[in-house]
Structures are given as structure tokens and as C-alpha cells.
């Protein structure tokens, strides 16, 4: 069970489960939110910054282990006719993880910044009420929150989406190339190759068409996790 093959197989199955678990627990506040509403998502991030910071850290580690496990898949094709495509594909997947690392860090920072800003805004509003300016308390609080961190958080969210878009397109192209390499080399089950190609094309083409902040991107993420799990199962079953 301690072999590279079995460890990679287990990680390819378990890591997607961990990622989904985070999005339904610690990251549930923003998991199904409208990411095209930058102000709205920034405020949501700030309202649950602690859980989001922890959740993003766990997701980043899980994604890193999952992507790294494709290194074993690539190694099984060394010296074969599909090795070149597999190598390029794996490099693109590594690039995708680097982008996710930056993106998740920016989102965690945005949550912290927004939380700080909203706390400052609430304090300013309370101070206005105490000073007898209840009529303008809400406006004062909103202005203070924006100046104190919410606007910075929004900028970080926008930056994270830009990085994520580029990394996602590149990484999914990597999945497709590995799948194509499998078909050329014929050393993997055709099911794995086809699923990786379909997943890769879905992400590489669908992301720029739909938009990275589109709610339909959830389909792309599900496809990526399912393809990883399927690859893990067939990795374990390989002789």
C-alpha cells in the first residue's frame, strides 16, 4: 500500500472528496454565491473570514496533492510515444496549481481585509449613533468600511479571478494533453483517456466562453474532481 502507485491512487480519490467537503462546510458561505457580484462576494468573505481562511488552506493542500499525483500518471508514460504530450500536460497542471495557490491566497487575504473593514464600519456607525447622528450612521459605517478594507478586499477578489482564469485554462489543457498521450501510447484504459480529454476540453474551452465567475463553472469543477477520482481508481487497478 505504500508504493508510489497506491499512494497516488488514494490521493486522486480522497483529495476531491476533501475539496468538496470544504465547499459544503467551511466555505459554504461563498460556495454557491454569485462571484460576478464583486462587492457582494467581498462582503460575504468578510463575514466568515476565519472559516474561509482555514478552508482555503485545506483546499490548497488537497489540490496540490491531487495535482502532484498526476506526476505518477506521467511517469508511467516515460519513454513511450505519448510521453511528450504527458510531460507538457503535467507542466500545465503544475502551472494550474501555482495559479490556484495565488488565487486562494488572494481570496483569504480579501476575506481578512473585508472583515477588518466591516468591523471598522460597524464601530464608526455605533460611534455616530452615540454622538446623536443616527440618521447618517449607516452611511458613515459604509464609507468607513469601504475605506478601511472592503474596497481593498474587492480589488483582491478581482485579481484572484484573473489569476484563476488563466491557470484554469492552462491546467485543463494539460488534462486533455495527458489523455491524448494515453490514446497515442495505448498503455492506459481508454476510459481514463477519454474522461481526461473531455474534462480538459470542457475546462479549456468552457472557461473563457462561460466566464470564470459564472455559476456554471461548478460543472467544470465537478468534471475535474470526477476525472481525478476515476484516474485514481484505474491507477490502483493497474498491474
Within 10 A of 191 (CB to CB), how many other CB atoms are there? 12
Tell me, what's the pLDDT at 197?
Answer: 97
pLDDT digits (tens, 9 = 90+) for 176-219: 999 999 999 999 999 999 999 999 999 999 999 999 988 889 99
Q: Give kind and range of the element (H or E) at residue 30.
A: helix 28-31
Say if 59 falls within a structural domain: yes
Is the residue at 171 inside a domain? Answer: yes
pLDDT tens profile 144-155: 555 556 778 788
Residue 142 resides in a domain: no
* Cα–Cα distance measured from residue 180 to residue 178, given in angstroms and rounded to the nearest whole number: 5
pLDDT band at 1 (very low <50, low <70, confident <90, very high): very low
CA distance 81 to 189: 16
* 37 domain-assigned: yes
Residues 6+ apart with CB under 8 A from 181: 77, 82, 83, 84, 85, 86, 89
- Residue 96 is assigned to a structural domain of this protein: yes
Q: Nearest Cα to 90, choosing from 176, 195, 214, 210? A: 176
Question: Is residue 141 situated within a structural domain?
Answer: no
Nearest one of 17, 76, 61, 68 to 236, comparing CA atoms:
76
Predicted pLDDT of residue 111? 87
Q: What is the pLDDT of residues 43-96, one digit of tens each?
A: 888 788 888 889 999 999 999 999 999 999 999 999 999 999 999 999 999 999
For 96-130, write each residue's pLDDT tens digit: 999 999 999 999 888 888 777 766 666 655 666 56
With respect to residue 199, please indicate whether it lies within any of the assigned structural domains: yes
Angle of helix 151-185 relative to helix 190-210, nearest 10 degrees, comes to 150
- 138: in domain: no
pLDDT of 143 > 70? The answer is no
Split into its structural domains, the chain has a count of: 1
pTM: 0.86
Q: Which domain holds residue 67?
A: 4-119+149-237
Amino acid at each position: 500500500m505504500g508504493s508510489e502507485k497506491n499512494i497516488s491512487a488514494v490521493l486522486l480519490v480522497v483529495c476531491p472528496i476533501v475539496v468538496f467537503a470544504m465547499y459544503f462546510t467551511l466555505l459554504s458561505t461563498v460556495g454557491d454565491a454569485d462571484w460576478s457580484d464583486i462587492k457582494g462576494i467581498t462582503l460575504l468573505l468578510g463575514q466568515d473570514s476565519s472559516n474561509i481562511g482555514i478552508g482555503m488552506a485545506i483546499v490548497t493542500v488537497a489540490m496540490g496533492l491531487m495535482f502532484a499525483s498526476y506526476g505518477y500518471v506521467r511517469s508511467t508514460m516515460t519513454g513511450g510515444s505519448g510521453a511528450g504530450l504527458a510531460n507538457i500536460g503535467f507542466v500545465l497542471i503544475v502551472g494550474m496549481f501555482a495559479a490556484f495557490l495565488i488565487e486562494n491566497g488572494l481570496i483569504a487575504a480579501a476575506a481578512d481585509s473585508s472583515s477588518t473593514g466591516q468591523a471598522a464600519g460597524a464601530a464608526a456607525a455605533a460611534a455616530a449613533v452615540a454622538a446623536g447622528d443616527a440618521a447618517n450612521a449607516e452611511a458613515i459605517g459604509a464609507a468607513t468600511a469601504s475605506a478601511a478594507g472592503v474596497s481593498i478586499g474587492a480589488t483582491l477578489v478581482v485579481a484572484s479571478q484573473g489569476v484563476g482564469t488563466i491557470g484554469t485554462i492552462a491546467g485543463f489543457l494539460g488534462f486533455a494533453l495527458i489523455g491524448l498521450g494515453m490514446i497515442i501510447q495505448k498503455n492506459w484504459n481508454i476510459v481514463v483517456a477519454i474522461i481526461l480529454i473531455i474534462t480538459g476540453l470542457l475546462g479549456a474551452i468552457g472557461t473563457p466562453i462561460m466566464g470564470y465567475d459564472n455559476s456554471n463553472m461548478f460543472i467544470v469543477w465537478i468534471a475535474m474532481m470526477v476525472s481525478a477520482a476515476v484516474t485514481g481508481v484505474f491507477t490502483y487497478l493497474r498491474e
